[in-house]
Chains A and B, each alone.
Chain A
Amino acid sequence: MKLSRNKASILLVFSLVLTLKINGKPLILQDLTPASTFNSQGDLIYIYKNIDEEIQLETLKFQTEESFTNSIPLGKKAFSPIIKKDRGGQIWLAWEEWEYDQSRIFMGRLDGDKIIHSQLMGKKEGYNLCPDLSFDLHDNPWLVWINYKDAQYRVCVHDTILKETWVVNSPLLSSAFSPQIAVDFENNVWVFWSGRDKSDEEIYCRVFNQYTWSPIHRITPEKKFPQINPSIAIDQQGFIWLTWSGYDGKDYEIYCKSWDGEKWSEISHVTDDHQRDDVFPTISIAFNNVPIIAWVQSENEESHVYIKFLKDECWSEKIKISHHRGQNIFPQITVEGEKIGIIWQSQNEIKVKFILFSQLKEYGILSESPLEPQLIYNASLNEEKYIGFGDSITYGYIHYEPAPQKGYLPRLEILLEQNFGDTEVVNEGWPGEITQNGLGRIDGVLRTHRARYLLLMEGTNDIVFRRISIDTAAFNLELMVRKCLDFGVFPAIATIIPRNDWKWQNKFFRDRIFDLNEKIRELAKNSAIPLVDQFNLFYYYPEEEGGWESLLSDYNHPNEEGYQLMAEEWFEEIRNFPFPPINFLVKRTYDEILFYRELGNDISWDENPKIYDANRIEAYKIYRKKAGKGNDQFEILQIIYDQCNYFDNDIVPSTQYVYVVSTLRTDKVEGPCSEQKQDQ
């Protein structure tokens, strides 16, 4: 059943969308997402940390739309609070408390706006973060979190009755994120996390039957792509449902699996569109044992929250929940009876939406026709156009105020115009953007601007989101690079600059910055794209000139001097881009001696005069395809050293061929191809 647009709008009228703002300030800190549940009165409650660094508990009545806000006295060191309801209806909290050289996990029960029985969970040294909470059949809390120490990530599970803590992910300690815990109806404690064994992240699981732990079980099939963001729920029969986001070679999709008491089901594809990235899934079970999944779908410059439910063993059409432009991320779905509460973060605000399950069943199909894939040849891109792609640093912020005219992009444009003539640099910096959003946005940016070059600098915001692993951020950057290359756009990537806030003082976050930059350097090397090491430019700025701190205007953003340095650093790399050869010609002719002649295509070109240091050109690569074939049919024909022509004699006389040629730098960075030429 498909829903018409009118019916879809009726659905929107029925549903209640609330945006919470106080005195115009965003309610939520950028790096902290809200957690929600229904209380025993059937009201949706959610907890978050606001911009004044206070922990707030919001209660939202479904019928009357009234909301009440209470401050929870947890202090400014508290972060990432989560709330869970036990089987008896009591509300429990767990949160992180951060200090200079460590962070710890605390747990307590909520009584009104007071926390009672607050206690420190585990005493592990290092950084303890990302807690999750569940309750056994006796309503005893079980806690899971990540401990980071000595560059190792441990998934810690704590039994609050026995006061015992287990590290369940050993020996896979190189990476662990997004731990989830649930207790089934047989009192088995299920723990899930995303972690890395060999290459990319996978979803792992262990089960504790109150006596022993099961071996580590990899839930996701071994793929060469990351599988991340697990979310779990217990259905009314006590069985586990698991959803996660995984990359399938083309984009991120949402997957689901369930446990029937004996075995895991086959993987179910919740999304499978190959065009939009689907991430951050969250699952809950409706009253009639129907799993509902909410997630974020990124497309072009926006990301939106969608839900699907399972009906007759098939996933429904997706239902768009968020209708606010911009980035809508990190949804949480909570179901109680027929009531479905969805809460998410939108541009530093909290959005909440109530839907009745009956409404879903009645109107719940809102399909959107997928975009037709565009086949665009790279020769149509503008050679004199550059896209600056990234977050607020790319956009241009000074003293936390927008200043795009003072950022590095306009300064770079001046340098390029002085040296290359008429040049356009497009500002595609999106303040607050994480790589996940960038990944969803980049396709639209590439299509819109049709620039030949893209300067990628993103990841600063991923650092502060503890639920985003550095591997995931690096992978997203890699995907963005791949999308550029697939589109015929030549990307260059920059490391992220150091920050001067409390997070920099904190080893956990500082390590994340160093780790991400190291991965960006590896990415540039492995993808053979130019690297602009903005981090090193800042980090090694001479102390006698004020050190790198003097280049920042606030905690995160450079000042004008910093932006000027960044622009010059970009320019130094750009002037040695392997620009495509010019005067590219292909002519069908004979190569003759007196008694023999050979038919072939005489290919010639000239070095691009924009290349500053010609010594960095190692060779030229010629690609060929048959005329009339798609651009994916181009194949490498020859690498040419020390000359600017080639005679292709490996041809079928009756066939016409199309050629492109690119410049190869001595560091193996290959530039964009020239315009294509067909033999004549």
Chain B
Amino acid sequence: MKRLSRILVLLILLISISKGLKAYSEYQSLDGIKKTYSPKCLLQQPGELSFEKTKNTLIEIFTGIYNMKDKRFKQIYDGYGFIYGLSFLRKLYNLNRHHFYLSLNIKSYTKKGKSTVTEKDTKLTLRPISLGGAYMFVTKRVIPMAEIGVDYYPYKEKSILHSTSGTAWGWHLKGGILFPLNILKSLKGKIYFRYSEAKTIENDLEVNLGGIEYGIGMIYEFNLF
């Protein structure tokens, strides 16, 4: 059921993004003829849709694929898994097109696996909380963004073999692009890539909870205070 809901969210996001991109690439020219941007002209031709006036608060839901770097993780949990979460971004400062945000996000990641020899069931749960500073370069069409921040990883691994819970600290780098969606003016789509490190030692084992994450999100922007 959870998997289904995740897929549903992913689908909605994909549809929204594709519609947004389509709307963005189709515009009414001055001669009244409907024209379409090629990918090249998409970057080169500023459209009439203004993307410069951003609001001071952004809220984002996102989902992505999380691929933990730890080699043992791959053996036990069979590679990647889905991650989803919620972000809040508050504009701190902007200078022309340069916007700076404070970012806070909470994610959830659960993965089931089996122990390497006896194949006993095991379940890993991560609830990372990240605090970071984000930079966005606002253009008329897309907003490239970058973020750096610290992560706090509450983790829990539950198994007949052994159960462990604890926390770890780490950092992350994130890059992405925001683009408008034509569903609602305040909605934006986002694709992102994230790299993180979060090492911890439990039971004499060093585990790196960080890894590579990439995914998509949907951002709603509004003014708050």
A interface residue numbers (CB < 8 A to B): 589-598, 600, 602, 647
Contact = CB atoms under 8 A, between A and B. Distances in A.
Interface string B190-205: 0000000000001101
A594 B70 contact: yes
Interface of B: 70, 72-73, 75-77, 113, 115-118, 120, 122, 124, 155, 157, 159, 161-162, 164, 166, 202-203, 205, 207
Identify which of B75, B115, B122, B207 gathers the most chain A CB atoms within 10 Å of its CB: B115
A595 B161 contact: no
A591 B73 contact: no
A600 B157 CA distance: 21
B117 A596 contact: no
A593 B122 contact: yes
A92 B65 CA distance: 108
A592 B115 contact: yes
Contacts of A600: 117
Nearest to A604: B117
A593 B166 CA distance: 15
B62 to A, nearest CB: 24
A589 B122 contact: no
Contacts of A647: 117-118
B202 A595 contact: yes
Contacts of B72: 592, 594
A592 B75 contact: yes
B117 A595 contact: no
A597 B118 contact: no
Contacts of B120: 591, 593
A591 B161 contact: yes
B162 A593 contact: yes
Nearest to B111: A594
A19 to B, nearest CB: 70
A590 B72 CA distance: 12
A123 B161 CA distance: 79
Contact of A594 (B117, B118, B122): B122
Contacts of A589: 117
A640 B66 CA distance: 38
27 contacts: A590-B116, A591-B117, A591-B161, A592-B72, A592-B116, A592-B117, A593-B76, A593-B115, A593-B122, A593-B159, A593-B161, A594-B73, A594-B76, A594-B157, A595-B155, A595-B157, A595-B166, A595-B202, A596-B157, A596-B159, A596-B161, A596-B162, A596-B205, A598-B161, A600-B117, A602-B117, A647-B118
A594 B132 CA distance: 27
A591 B75 CA distance: 11
Contact of A595 (B75, B116, B118, B164): B164
Contact of A597 (B77, B124, B155, B203): B203
Nearest to A587: B117
Contacts of B207: 594-595
A598 B203 CA distance: 10
A596 B207 CA distance: 10
A590 B70 CA distance: 17
Contacts of B73: 594
Contact of B205 (A591, A597, A602): A597
A590 B164 contact: no
A322 B157 CA distance: 78
A596 B205 CA distance: 7
B113 to A, nearest CB: 7
A590 B203 CA distance: 13
Given A596-B161, A598-B161, A591 B116 contact: yes
A590 B117 contact: yes
* Closest 3 A/B residue pairs (Cβ): A596-B162, A595-B164, A591-B117
Nearest to B200: A595
Contact of A596 (B70, B118, B155, B164): B164
Nearest to A601: B117
Contacts of A590: 116-117
A533 B115 CA distance: 49
Contacts of B205: 594-597
Contacts of A593: 76, 113, 115-116, 120, 122, 157, 159, 161-162
A591 B118 contact: yes
Contacts of A594: 70, 72-73, 76-77, 113, 122, 124, 157, 205, 207
A597 B203 CA distance: 8
B203 to A, nearest CB: 5
Nearest to B160: A593
B76 A596 contact: no
A465 B73 CA distance: 75
Contacts of A595: 155, 157, 162, 164, 166, 202-203, 205, 207
B38 to A, nearest CB: 47
A653 to B, nearest CB: 13
